[in-house]
A and B are shown apart, each in its own frame.
Chain A
């Protein structure tokens, strides 16, 4: 009789034990598939919200601007760069920044004005969708500005209220103008929430006497995947200007996301150690129960290798059945979470985590990896778990085995 046949018969003999082991394994692996997809989804969502809310994937500046953001450190050929980016198939948008004092009534606060390209910005980022009250900027309303939510609170103003901006224009004169708050943002990120005054680029240029030049170009290509090619593409289009991707621009955030991935791996390892205990326990029990049986097999001349192989096959058979069951219930669940998501909006509508905005609905992200990774782990750990029982059975001495009862 072949080893395979013997192993399969052994699996079938103690049905209850086989069933319990298989179900426990399937449950653990199935949940791993769902969990992996969900955590992947949330991390992607976090990464995406970091990127598409404001900073984009890659940014272009004049070298030194980030350390010393003076209004004079401009990129002069932004139109040509943006055209080249369009030709390369990625979207870019230009921005101008300036620091000023904003006053409303008797309160005042330091602010960062952001002049947006109202046509291009919505193609690159989604900040225009993060309006809490009022409306996004409109070229037809040059005096309408959108402000961050904490700034609105600091100044005690809301939609429709007046805001006076006082700063220094590029010609040294006092830049000052009265604006109307058009909209207040939801949480975006700390700098914008606390100090952001968003306006159209034309309004900014007029206020600050800055007819040309931009301070920043933000670019978004395909989200997810390798940043390298997009960074290179932008580098080619940008010429001599400084090009940095978001990981270089915000290493703290990049670390945070990487650490979340690390934490996820740790959680997976914890779950698998539970799985390994189940498999290990089941196999060990099945070996100990059959000590006399193995003794007979050895006595009639079965080699230790064949005994060990038999037990390994038993384990793998159970793991295979468990995988099929796990995929059968885990994958549909993961797909459902990808479509409908886990809705936390009843707890909080505007989640702010480590200074970045988070969606209140968590969507899973199903990739082949979500299935392949748990399965690889399952089989690897099964083999590890079965090594000791298999070895023990293989090395059993018939005489000692018979003495046992």
Chain B
């Protein structure tokens, strides 16, 4: 993960596991200073393990609104990640060619009873390979908050997937958080114990 902001640029190497939408575990491999720092998402809770102080902390209150590992994602973003199909209704808003690529634009609108972070999500996919190209997130006032770009499609764990995900906050267009997938494996047999607090420390 590379994060570039007005004040700093940092690159982290991480490994992570996830099961469904509610369970995931990330661990920092490099730089050395932060090695071993882990984040566990389990349902609505986020736990952080800090090797320097050998402590596990459940993030609460204001900390949920602050940045996850210095990125443009807040801890709250991790928790509120939702299944688009469940929480949104969709409609195809554009179909045709853009910049020489056949694309389909799908506009997702949040269901009224859904507790989601975004009121509207506009998803652009490549009609040929059915892979996402761009995802734009809007708030309840209809303002664009962030854009996620998908690129560098390659073989990951036997699937054709975009290996590079770049998030650009709308109010700071020169900043970004970029995830580059080196390797991926799918359909691993992970038990729920993988996502327990005990596993944070490894």
Contact = CB atoms under 8 A, between A and B. Distances in A.
B55 A164 contact: yes
B163 interface: no
B1 to A, nearest CB: 11
Given A167-B66, A168-B67, A178-B55, 10 more contacts: A108-B57, A108-B58, A108-B59, A109-B60, A110-B63, A164-B57, A170-B8, A172-B5, A174-B48, A176-B52
A351 interface: no
Nearest to B71: A172
A177 B67 CA distance: 18
A166 B48 contact: yes
B10 interface: yes
A173 interface: yes
Nearest to A166: B57
B7 interface: yes
B55 to A, nearest CB: 5
Given A108-B58, A110-B61, A177 B53 contact: yes
Given A101-B62, A174-B34, A176-B50, A168 B55 contact: no
B37 interface: yes
Contacts of B70: 168, 171-174
Contacts, number: 72
Interface in A164-207: 164, 166-168, 170-174, 176-178
Interface in A95-111: 99-101, 103, 106, 108-110
A72 interface: yes
Nearest to A99: B62
Contact of A172 (B10, B37, B57, B62): B10
B98 interface: no
B61 A103 contact: no
Q: Which of B33, B53, B60 has most A Cβ within 10 Å?
A: B53
B3 interface: yes
A180 to B, nearest CB: 12
